[in-house]
Amino acid sequence: MVDYKRGWNFDFEFPLVAREEKPRTQGLTMIIDKGLGIRETKDLLELATSYIDFWKLSFGTSALYPREILKKKIKLIKSYEIDIYPGGTFLEIAINQNKTSEYLNEAKELGFTAVEVSDGTLSLPISLRSNIIKQAKSLGFKVLTEIGKKDKNKEFKVNQMIKQLKKDVIDGADKIIVEARESGTGVSIYDQQGQADQFMLKKILLEAPNHNDIIWETPLKKQQVYFIRLLGNNVNLGNIDPREILALESLRNGLRGDTFKTILNDDVDDGLFIEIDL
C-alpha cells in the first residue's frame, strides 16, 4: 500500500477542521464511475484512495464489462479499502424482470461489497423495497438506498422522501442517498439551476433521524461548496466525478478559496450559501 503522507514537507495545518482517516464514519465521498479502465482506476487509487469511500459503477455499465476485467477491477478497488457497488438502475432492471435474487447472488459472486436500492425509474411497493433491503443485508452487503426521482416530469412530495428515509433506516439501510442524477439539476431537491430548494432541504434536515445517515449527491461544484458550508466539511457527498476528487477534498480541507474564505470572513456573500435555521 502506498504511504499517503502530504506531498509538502513543512509544518502547516489545513484551514478547516481535521478530517477523519479511513475507515471514516462521516465525511464520506462516493464517486460515480462511468467506465474507467483498469489503468485509469489504478492511477486514481494510487493518487486519491484516502479520499474515496464508495465507488459506484454507474447505472448498468458493469453489465458491459468483460467479466474478467470487471472482477479484476472490483478486486483492485476493494484492496484499497473502498466499498464498490453497481448503480441502482441495474437492480431496478432485475426487479422488473423478476430476477432480484439472481442479481444479488451474482453481485456477491463478482465481489461487490454494497448494493444500491432505488426506485428512480420503477415505482417499487414499500413492502418490496423493504424486503430487498433485508435480503441484501442478509447476504452481507452494505446497502445504500436512494430517495428522489430521476424523471424531471414526475412530481414527488418531500414528506414521502422523509417517510421513505425513515423506513429505509429501520429496514437496515447503511446510507440514504438524496438523488441528483449526473446533472444535479431539475430533480429531487434541486431546481433547474442546480440550487437546493430551501423548504425541502430544511424539512429533510429537521426530520431525518441522523444527518450522517444521508449522502447528498452533489455533482456540481457549487453544490459541494453549499453543503460543506451548511453542514461542515464532514458532510457525506456523492456522485463526484473521479476527476474532481482532489478538488472536492481541497474544498473539504479549506485548500480552495470557496471554503478557505469562510474562516477569514464570516459574512461571505457570493450567492452560493443561504443559511438555514435548524
Instruction: Write the secondary structure of the chain as one string of H (helix), E (strand) and C (coil).
Output: CCCCCCCCCCCCCCCCCCCCCCCCCCCCEEEEECCCCHHHHHHHHHHHHHHCCEEEECCCHHHHCCHHHHHHHHHHHHHCCCEEEECHHHHHHHHHCCCHHHHHHHHHHHCCCEEEECCCCCCCCHHHHHHHHHHHHHCCCEEEEEECCCCCCCCCCHHHHHHHHHHHHHHCCCEEEECCCCCCCCECCECCCCCECHHHHHHHHHHCCCHHHEEEECCCHHHHHHHHHHHCCCCCEEEECHHHHHHHHHHHCCCCHHHHHHHHCCCCCCCCCCCCCC
Q: What is the pLDDT of residues 129-184, one digit of tens each?
A: 999 999 999 999 999 999 987 555 444 578 889 999 999 999 999 999 999 988 88
Would you state the pLDDT for residue 267? 55
Would you state the pLDDT for residue 1? 35
Would you state the pLDDT for residue 156? 58
Q: What is the pLDDT of residues 243-260, one digit of tens each?
A: 999 999 999 999 999 999
Would you state the pLDDT for residue 276? 60
Would you state the pLDDT for residue 266? 59
Q: What's the average pLDDT block by block, 10 residues per block, for the chain (278 residues)?
A: 63 87 95 98 98 98 98 99 98 98 99 96 94 99 90 64 96 97 86 92 94 98 96 97 98 95 69 53
In the chain, the domains with their CATH numbers are 29-264 (3.20.20.70)
